[in-house]
Structure 1
């Protein structure tokens, strides 16, 4: 039996057609597999347990939509209201058996006739009813036997009974009878939610299936955050959903599929919301009204409670966080003697839950909102006031909660007092997100006095640039700059902080620079703040501003740093200055090991020292001091995490990913970069660097479309708003990607863009990646003069600078030029120099690609040595995961008569995928054609076709469309 599921959809106001359920099953693959395995193994008993909205019915529908062969499906439902209907669910199911029953020829005993009065729809196919016995127990037993006999006569049967928790006693008893001794042709699936089962026993008495019967209990728990994310993407037909939105949606719905679906349906613009950052996602989801079905269900449960239990639930809704019984009772004004009874009713009525030991709250945020909405205005204010009085006695005082209750109670002065105190405490413990959110809320209040606006605006700016929430604080500070309540004396400082935030946003670099220059002028009488602005303006990697315009700001920063007596300010300026100078190759930075030796004591000093180390690690990564970069990164990242500097942590983690790419630590790197990109997608400096690594990894695997998709997000096409070294490296990676596809004109365009950026900037430290890519591209296009000119510029730019990566790349470039001239001995010398320099960094991938060029030069005269190098490189590239490069070396090796088996030799793999088959499987799952795979792996299409057939057979799938990347490991 096969059915086609048609996902339901509704049209919401101002929105396109939105599904109300997922077109694919999410998070229940194992459970569905258990059903598919158990049901055909007749006789079988399957019990599906899960709370309301967990997806029990959807799981059963998915089972029924599979091919069940000759099995007849009979479905009955238990209902919560209505007249008593003994055996109702089972009798309802049997009504669907008429066609099967009509084909039964003989064999039904007279006892089957007792069903005729109960089922007039199929009475003609049953024997005449036997005379009544007069004993109710015996009569009931005859019905049970009749049902078993009729079901046993129908051939293979699947009996499904939904919502067993609403079943009448007769249905429970007959099901227990059937499940204890089912006919050999019968499979039974029942669904129920234990919290609504009388006594918690689904069948009315303990049930243990006897031996010889397939028995499975399938429990449906909440979905995980990742599963909520997948469910959201499926419902909204979106390719991606932000990790922040998924996390907030999971938090609000507790991962219950029905609640997730209803919440998405209630969103005004769900397709736009799913890409929101954490703060925006929370704001959008908090604004969603409780779905009608959920509201009605909660109202029904509340109506069944005693008054005291309802008041306790309402107190819990007002408190908003799990609380002990005593606090709930105090807010609800219930005497100590009655709290326990009220709480027991609220728990057994499944309104409240014991969230943590001894702390009670709601299953999910929407349930809490549904109860909160039952309160009228005066009642809400009274309960919030009681909450303030109760929480004010708690130590340490929950300041965020006190601020929330004060605002809702209409106590404005108390809200301001508690809110600012909450923000201060959050800042002290390094929780920049909470501090930022609280300060923004306070500043949005139209009644806030001017004196408070000044103070809170400065606090917002100070804390926001430590955290990850950038866009909302930036907008708040922009609004404040146009607010008459903001005094002239603090405008420069507010403008400074707004400029610092703008740098981190896509498209904000040029605007940030203008804002910072204005702020520095406004802060002429406050030199310590002006110096902070100058230090940022002296960072050379911002946009397309040339290095010559950065130097005056950098020198100004240096002069103030040398004169200030404030240790925190000095470290703050040093954090910017050291990185900026090292990016230009200033030899004095690495020559002085004592730059960061100053002792630190305060949290502010520790944050600045952590930032200095992370900035230095970033500059070392760009210039080639990889080992020192690793040391700085470890110390800086640990300190930034400990002292509460989440933005510094974000940039340091991105630097770590880039460093791992450069040093060949590729194992699990793509997965880690993907996770970080999900987390930091709204922080452009971080996201662009992660995209650079993901694109570069894809290029090494020969996945051109994926590589191009990521590399276009590096700023390569919009250098004015980019982080320059990332944009230049993005151009280089794009040039390699297009050149590898023999698209020389496009590769030239990419190389020209990168060369133009570095010439405009004048920072030749960043030539390490664009140099070899551009020279190889120009030579492929016959632009020899352009290649020679670029190499000469690089040589002049790195002369006397401390730039080990760029110097290694220069040797590589010179090798390319010599090879193009036909001077192979000189080319070999240059390539060996480059290989040795790369290996010393260490940069194993770059060393290997350069060694490959050396082997090409050796092939005409020293074939054996070239083959030996190529054989070693196959192993190197395979170990790294550079599929395309390894395949290219194998192809060259075969061309000169050498042999190199795939990874781990040519042993038999049985039903496991061989390394080559794994490569083919990955490319098949990514959507590549046989021809494209052949090009990537340097194989014939016929060979790829054979590999593909083996992949499908070993993985047990019928077509490549069924391959999923995540299933390939």
Structure 2
């Protein structure tokens, strides 16, 4: 197999080079595949002395002195050797011209052997300083073993002897380590043992083998778990992954179960087939069981008696294919070994072994149903497979292991001959388990299949329909489709108040449906009544959580007192469901607090949600918490590294179908891209959330109805109004900056109408840029009416973000009507409010708006104050890194005759460049054209061209293609 870079062996490499000194013996031990040959090869680099290497070949009858013959074949044999060395002519015919004549035939074989030992020792002593490396001496033939026993106490002074071997394959009659005891006093000797590599070492190896995939520490952890850190297995796996890669780098670079290259598979099978029959049976039984197993279980599955089992266990552990997994258990050495051995089993033998494992495990007092389901499936026992899978899933759900339950139920539902009622029950369990996860598409498909099957009574459709509606609502962002399913489920569950209450309280939380706030309140009243009738405390808590969520979403100050108390503060024990409900409620309140502008409150609720949930048992809440924390960082102006973190999480494959979270991260990334001068990326991300917007690409087929499918066939997400409003507000700001106020209003018009119909005006904060654009379109009366309705809609609410946005709209109206003092007063109040939240980006926008008010005063009386306000805005934008906004402000300052520098806080790339040249070369290095840079920085293309040419000259570059992008 091909060599790989030496990683994780720096200490051993140094020790081996130190040990390989003249007159020393070095023993290099290690299990198969640990890299002994690779390490010994380092003695050649740099070649300080001659290195002679010979290998002991495997085989029942190896020829005598095999490694010595190979090593000495190209040795610099000197002339003038004693007649004794003539005995080597038959062994080394290639050196016959330098060897004396052959002596007479010895009278006894022992005399002949002794003569050869003496001759080889003399030859080695006559060589120039050299290192003799004999590989795999566990396979050494008897003659070589005898020579080593003879040579150890007579080691030539100019010879270093290095022996490599596998302890597990060493014959009991040849204890290699005892050779060190045979060396005379004063002779140096050292023993080195190679173990597996750790994940950090494997990360170095992966980065060398997969440079384009940018492997991570998690990739290295997966590789270590799969291979056990065995260097040969890891290197071959990585080489195979590199050879298979095509197109964009895969994520993750190393999957949980990588493909097994043929060479590695055959190497493992060769080790297996080298064992005796009983040991092979025992190893195969362990690989079928695929986990820690006691000796008695292994013996029963392998069908071996006690004495044969003891011998086989000893050989299996010595071979390194089995390893202790506790005081009394054994397991395959690595998942890789188990996978290869199972895959190589003939079909009939694999079924028999799985049936034996099923029978043995089922006899336990507490049967492991998850393992039994797997063995039943592999044994072809369909009914037992389904039974055990269902029982294992139920146990997993009780213990909060929902992801394990999802995997078990999905597997069980692949059985084609399931009875309709059994399929319904399994799909229902799958729907419940998937509610806490990050991927619900399989559960949705199975529940729809159940609901579309003929013959299912209406009374039995309500519960699966409710689970379908909840999944569509939460994970899939199919709000309108979910509403239809939940309304039908509530009717079908009329006789089940406990379940009907869950459907009703889900309908009570406002989303993107056209239902008015009064409709949502009525659903909540019905849910509270149904929960009371059910007399189920768990249902009451679920409804209470959604009641608090409803109040928070509409800005009702009572929301923060309506959440159920935290676990541990009530009488009686707290169940897993209680803890999860509290975490869900905390997440919902945090989400509302971010939207409303209560950031400290959002922090507290996010901390509570994180404390009562985990990445494993409630990944939906866990990932939502992480995304909301990033949104808070955006709002507070903590932008350093935010784009990279948002991209990393947004592109994680496990979140591909968790649309609420990916939408949140996409919005965040779009907002950063727009502020930092990448409008194309911002627009591309925003039209995914607002596909009906006027800025959709020309290649897009245009607006689709709600629920229409994306190009990959998956229904297009129907995001909540606050999410769509955030996107619309960003698009409106971009349109206004391009001088297209009519387009800015188009971006927000439908959402303004929806919010007005629902009566939830706290959602309108992000839409104010589009409302302000009405003033530039000559539609001041409409803007005044919206301002009046917004003011009335916010009355009695606790929504700082919307209240401050109202101040901005009122200020814009005052400026439009030339009431400049009033406008400045309102803008000052808005800036103070933004600073208090804090929202520094919005505060800088308000400063910029103040400057425009000053400049609008007659006779230029506000020019000085306007310049001061623009400089303050520029400073705020610069501290954030808001390149797009800073460029607009600099253009305004230049128009007033005020010179400006590049954006403060963003140092240019090279001190040889001026600030403007550094800014332009940063953009050019990112692939922007001169025209795009000119439009972004409000310069002429000719000016940009001149700056690029000057920068290239200063940097000694011939082309802009030679520019490298700066780190973000």
Tell me what 2:806 maps to: 810
Distance 2:39 2:954 in 1: 36
Shift of 1:571: 3.0
Shift of 1:646: 3.6
> Closer, same or farther in 2 for the Cα pair 1:338/1:86, shift >3 Å?
closer
> Closer, same or farther in 2 for the Cα pair 1:58/1:137, shift >3 Å?
closer
User: SS state of the match for residue 503, structure 1?
Assistant: helix
| Partner deviation per Cα, 1:930-969 (whole Å, 9 max, x = no partner) | 978997899965896699789xxxxxxx9766x896xx8x
**Structure 2 unpaired stretches of 5+:** 104-113, 693-702, 707-716, 855-861
Q: 2:753 aligns with which of 744, 759, 767?
A: 759
Q: 1:692 aligns with which of 667, 684, 691?
A: 667
Distance 1:92 1:960 in 2: 53
Tell me what 2:587 maps to: 614
Shift of 1:498: 1.8
> Closer, same or farther in 2 for the Cα pair 1:578/1:797, shift >3 Å?
farther
* TM-score in terms of structure 1 length: 0.70
**Structure 1 unpaired stretches of 5+:** 1-7, 9-20, 102-106, 153-158, 951-957
Shift of 1:368: 0.9
Tell me what 1:631 maps to: 604
Shift of 1:346: 0.8
> Closer, same or farther in 2 for the Cα pair 1:640/1:875, shift >3 Å?
same
Preserved contact between residue 478 and residue 719 of structure 2 (Cα < 8 Å): no
User: SS state of the match for residue 353, structure 1?
Assistant: strand
User: SS state of the match for residue 324, structure 2?
Assistant: strand
Tell me what 1:564 maps to: 531
5 Å matches for 1:438-449?
438-449=408-419
Tell me what 2:283 maps to: 313
Preserved contact between residue 322 and residue 330 of structure 2 (Cα < 8 Å): yes
> Closer, same or farther in 2 for the Cα pair 1:337/1:57, shift >3 Å?
closer
Distance 2:424 2:397 in 1: 18
User: SS state of the match for residue 330, structure 2?
Assistant: strand
* TM-score in terms of structure 2 length: 0.70
Preserved contact between residue 381 and residue 408 of structure 1 (Cα < 8 Å): yes
Shift of 1:165: 9.2
1:349 correspondence with 2:349: no
Tell me what 2:792 maps to: 799
Distance 1:712 1:195 in 2: 62
User: SS state of the match for residue 593, structure 1?
Assistant: helix
> Closer, same or farther in 2 for the Cα pair 1:644/1:558, shift >3 Å?
farther
Preserved contact between residue 439 and residue 655 of structure 2 (Cα < 8 Å): no
Distance 1:310 1:884 in 2: 69
> Closer, same or farther in 2 for the Cα pair 1:218/1:941, shift >3 Å?
farther
Distance 2:779 2:52 in 1: 77
1:573 correspondence with 2:543: yes
> Closer, same or farther in 2 for the Cα pair 1:263/1:254, shift >3 Å?
farther
Structure having the higher Rg: 2
Shift of 1:653: 3.3
5 Å matches for 1:838-853?
838-853=834-849
| Partner deviation per Cα, 1:816-864 (whole Å, 9 max, x = no partner) | 5666888765554333222111122232332344345446766832489
Tell me what 2:398 maps to: 428
5 Å matches for 1:97-246?
136=116, 140=120, 221=197, 234=210
Q: 1:500 aligns with which of 453, 457, 470?
A: 470
Shift of 1:476: 1.7
Q: 1:682 aligns with which of 642, 648, 657?
A: 657
> Closer, same or farther in 2 for the Cα pair 1:584/1:594, shift >3 Å?
closer
5 Å matches for 1:245-644?
252=226, 256-258=233-235, 260=237, 292-336=262-306, 339-355=309-325, 359-373=329-343, 375=345, 379-381=349-351, 383-388=353-358, 390-392=360-362, 397-409=367-379, 414-449=384-419, 452-484=422-454, 486-504=456-474, 508-542=478-512, 545-548=513-516, 551-562=518-529, 564-565=531-532, 566=535, 567-585=537-555, 587=556, 589-590=558-559, 593-597=561-565, 599=570, 601-641=574-614, 644=617
Tell me what 1:785 maps to: 778
Shift of 1:686: 1.3
> Closer, same or farther in 2 for the Cα pair 1:265/1:339, shift >3 Å?
farther
| Partner deviation per Cα, 1:498-527 (whole Å, 9 max, x = no partner) | 222233565844543443344344334444
Preserved contact between residue 670 and residue 697 of structure 1 (Cα < 8 Å): yes
Tell me what 2:729 maps to: 732
Preserved contact between residue 232 and residue 241 of structure 1 (Cα < 8 Å): no
Shift of 1:491: 1.7
> Closer, same or farther in 2 for the Cα pair 1:53/1:688, shift >3 Å?
farther
Shift of 1:736: 5.1
> Closer, same or farther in 2 for the Cα pair 1:299/1:752, shift >3 Å?
same
| Partner deviation per Cα, 1:688-710 (whole Å, 9 max, x = no partner) | 11222233334444455654554
> Closer, same or farther in 2 for the Cα pair 1:489/1:76, shift >3 Å?
farther
5 Å matches for 1:72-111?
none
Tell me what 1:834 maps to: 830
| Partner deviation per Cα, 1:39-87 (whole Å, 9 max, x = no partner) | 9xx99999999987789999999999xxx99999999895855875978
Structure 1, 258-267 or 395-404: larger mean CA deviation: 258-267
User: SS state of the match for residue 834, structure 1?
Assistant: helix
User: SS state of the match for residue 863, structure 2?
Assistant: coil
1:648 correspondence with 2:616: no
> Closer, same or farther in 2 for the Cα pair 1:922/1:144, shift >3 Å?
farther
Shift of 1:685: 1.0
Shift of 1:427: 1.0
Preserved contact between residue 55 and residue 66 of structure 2 (Cα < 8 Å): no
> Closer, same or farther in 2 for the Cα pair 1:410/1:928, shift >3 Å?
closer
> Closer, same or farther in 2 for the Cα pair 1:816/1:449, shift >3 Å?
same
Tell me what 1:155 maps to: none
Structure 1, 508-517 or 937-946: larger mean CA deviation: 937-946
Preserved contact between residue 69 and residue 92 of structure 2 (Cα < 8 Å): no
Tell me what 2:858 maps to: none
5 Å matches for 1:2-41?
none
> Closer, same or farther in 2 for the Cα pair 1:118/1:736, shift >3 Å?
farther
User: SS state of the match for residue 769, structure 1?
Assistant: helix
Shift of 1:770: 3.6
User: SS state of the match for residue 541, structure 1?
Assistant: coil
User: SS state of the match for residue 604, structure 1?
Assistant: helix
Shift of 1:423: 1.6
Distance 2:538 2:243 in 1: 49
Preserved contact between residue 466 and residue 647 of structure 1 (Cα < 8 Å): yes
Q: 2:765 aligns with which of 764, 768, 771?
A: 768
Distance 1:791 1:87 in 2: 99
User: SS state of the match for residue 861, structure 1?
Assistant: helix
User: SS state of the match for residue 270, structure 2?
Assistant: helix
Structure 1, 362-371 or 708-717: larger mean CA deviation: 708-717
Distance 2:655 2:201 in 1: 17
**Number of residue-to-residue matches in the alignment:** 878
Shift of 1:617: 1.8
User: SS state of the match for residue 296, structure 1?
Assistant: helix
Preserved contact between residue 388 and residue 406 of structure 1 (Cα < 8 Å): yes
Shift of 1:477: 1.7
Distance 2:526 2:914 in 1: 59
